[in-house]
Amino acid sequence: MNTTAGNQNVVTQNISSQQLKIQLASYLETQPEHIRSFHRVMKILESITLGIMIIIFITAFILSFMWKTIPVGAIPAAWFLLPTSAAVLMLLIAVHTLRLHAYPASSLYKIYQGGSPARLFGKYQQFVTGKAADTQALILILVALIVGGFFALFAWAAWTVNWTLLTPMINISGTALGIIIAVGIVGGMILKTYQKLSKSR
């Protein structure tokens, strides 16, 4: 464990999910009661949001088999609401993290961790506090606002069949997907190379 006394930053690398929970529990024991209460409230809100995500997924899945009897824009709109709700969950986790100054503040971080740009700042699972946690939270807020806003607009455009918006958004999403895949492949190769070099030292 590396600790920077000045900023009270703690980083624990390469640990399991259970260890992350233990680290968070130990950290919360040192915090005031109002912080622990906030943590409990945010866990409830995040669980509710996860439930909404599941409902949206089931709804979109069912609508996909009803394409002959429903408006043409209902199916894509329902599917686009899924990443929108995921962005809301990400935003809640980010706010949760900012208030606690600890990351991950929620076990639900796993839902997005694998594909989150924040992962580029740390290949291993980590428990971090202080400025390091706040940085993770700010990255998540930025990603959540961009992704949530984009797919919310996409869902509205699909529902209203607004081709003026749909055409450029389809082009943007296709280009972005290609870039993300390319960056993911190259980034993964660089990280693996860095890990091998670090282990060999």
Q: What is the mean pLDDT of each run of 10 residues along the chain (201 residues)?
A: 44 65 90 94 94 94 89 90 93 94 83 49 66 91 92 91 83 80 77 70 62
Its domain, for residue 189, covers 163-201
DSSP three-state, residue 40:
helix
User: What are the counts of helices (DSSP H) followed by strands (DSSP E) for the chain?
Assistant: 6, 4
What per-residue confidence (pLDDT) applies to 113?
58
Q: What is the pLDDT of residue 61?
A: 93
Q: What is the pLDDT of residue 10?
A: 53
Measure the CA angle with vertex 18, ends 13 and 22; round to 5°: 80
Dihedral-angle region of residue 106 (phi above 0 means left; psi in -120 to 50 means alpha; beta otherwise) = beta
The predicted pLDDT at position 15 comes to: 58
pLDDT number for residue 3: 41
Same domain, 74 and 51: yes
Structural domain tally of the chain? 2
Domain shared by 93 and 116, yes or no: yes
* Predicted pLDDT at 195: 66
Please check whether residues 45 and 74 belong to one and the same domain. Answer: yes
